[in-house]
Structure 1
Amino acid sequence: MPRVSAGHLAARREQILDGSRACFSKYGYEGATVRRLEEATGMSRGAIFHHFRDKDSLFLELARQDARQMAKVVADQGMVQVMRDVLADAATGGSSISWLGTRLEVSRRLRTDPAFRAEWEEQAKELTEALHSRLARQRAAGVVRPDLPISVLAQYLELAFEGLVSHLAMGLSAEDLRAVLDVVETSVRRLPTAD
């Protein structure tokens, strides 16, 4: 039997992750059956579970990837940009980054699954640290308002993000949300001083 190269295995793993992301986004965790995962990835269950122990570890890897990418966006561009990306993704039906689908499932599982919550703490810490660091850098540059602690501003932005996710999950109109995100962004900025 011929050996499969590491590059080929890595490409198959990415194909599984990409297809699974679309499947979880469309059907949710419970609805993403093994048969649907096979269809979405174009791989057999044997191939899928060669790379991932089970459906839960597959989902957790997707959620970790998303959290790392979100933390990177937060560090580079801010939390409001993450919200703008989620909004844009929802507008395209989840055809680009699909953070909304995984984030909805993460939120549900954080609420209902203590084991998942314990596993997720490290990922949540990375995102929170990126947000605090970004706010501190922006404050030092004179961009972020100085009258509130960084921790309060971070919690405010996290609440706005979770509210956006909930709003989109309920299928409510996203029509005016860009303007709402403008308000959120403006509310954390330093107010202009009167000269």
Structure 2
Amino acid sequence: MARVSQEHLTARRRQILDGARRCFARNGFHATSMQDVLQETGLSAGAVYRYFRSKDDLIAAIASQVFDEVGSAFAQAADAEDPPLPDVLLPAVLCRVLAGPTQATPALALQVWAETLRNDELAARMREGYARVLESWVRIVRGYQERGLMREDVPPEDTARVLIGAAQGFLVQQALFGPLDPHLLRTGLRGVMGMEPPAP
């Protein structure tokens, strides 16, 4: 019997995750059954369960893909000699993730965050993913401080958490209130970054 190639296994796994994403985006996690995923992908139960034991496994895998993509983008920025300023970096990463191969959507992100309140395994993955992003942002902020672009009397972790929160808040607004151009995050951040105390 011929062995199945790694390329085939990878493509089949991606096919299942893509189908599950479409189902979750359409109906939410709890209204989607494994039968819905089978119908969406056109695969047999055996083919799907070979890769994923349950719906929770599918949710965790989708979340991990997005965490990896976001983490990789910010890690690359942290490794750069002169990373872009937040008003350029944040919108660029959001555009990359929203249009990327993981097919991440703000509504799906919001569902994942809510799911962490009941799913301990997913919550653990979320904490790991967030820790990676936070570590990259702390490095980026330290770089800004060394270049004289940010105040040095503010702990880098405090600034990093606020910048991450800006991206998360933007995704929440999109999920709740409809599409927004990620580039408005650029102009909004520029407005905040350009604040100066009034002259005495």
Partner residue of 1:79? 90
1:137 — aligned with what? 143
Other-structure match for 2:36? 36
Aligned twin of 1:56: 56
Gaps of 5+ in 1: none
Taking structure 1 as reference, are residues 115 and 44 closer, same or farther at Cα in structure 2, changes over 3 Å only?
A: same
Which position in structure 2 is the counterpart of 1:179?
184
* CA deviation after TM superposition for structure 1 residue 5, in Å: 2.4
Alignment CA distance shift 1:24-1:104 (3 Å):
same
Coordinate RMSD, CA, aligned: 3.0
| Offset, 1:116 | 3.0
Contact 1:21 1:62 in 2 (8 A): yes
Shift of 1:105: 1.8
Shift of 1:66: 0.5
Aligned AA for 1:103? A
Residue identity over aligned pairs, in percent, reads 26
2:147 alignment partner AA: A
Tell me, in whole angstroms, the C-alpha distance in 1 between the residues paired with 2:20 and 2:106: 14
Are the equivalent residues in 2 in contact too, given 1:143–1:189 (CA < 8 A)?
A: no
Matched residue SS, 1:170:
helix
Q: Which amino acid aligns with 1:66?
A: V
The TM-score, its normalising length taken from structure 2, stands at 0.75
Counterpart Cα distance in 2 of 1:150 and 1:62: 30
Q: Label 1:147 to 1:97 Cα distance change in 2 as closer, same or farther (>3 A).
A: farther
CA contact (8 A) 2:16 2:48 kept: yes
Q: Conserved in 1, the CA contact under 8 Å of 2:19 and 2:37?
A: yes
Moved over 6 A (4+): none
Distance in 2, matches of 1:23 and 1:114, equals 23
For structure 2, list consecutive stretches of 5 or more residues without a partner in the other structure: 78-88
Paired residue secondary structure (1:51) = coil
TM-score, normalising length: structure 1: 0.76
The 1:68/1:144 distance shift into structure 2, 3 A limit, reads farther
Determine if contact 2:174/2:180 at 8 Å carries over to the other structure: yes
Query: 1:182 corresponds to which letter in structure 2?
Result: T
Report the Cα offset of residue 157 of structure 1.
1.4
Which residue in the other structure is 1:97 paired with?
A: 103
CA distance in 2, matches of 1:21, 1:120: 18
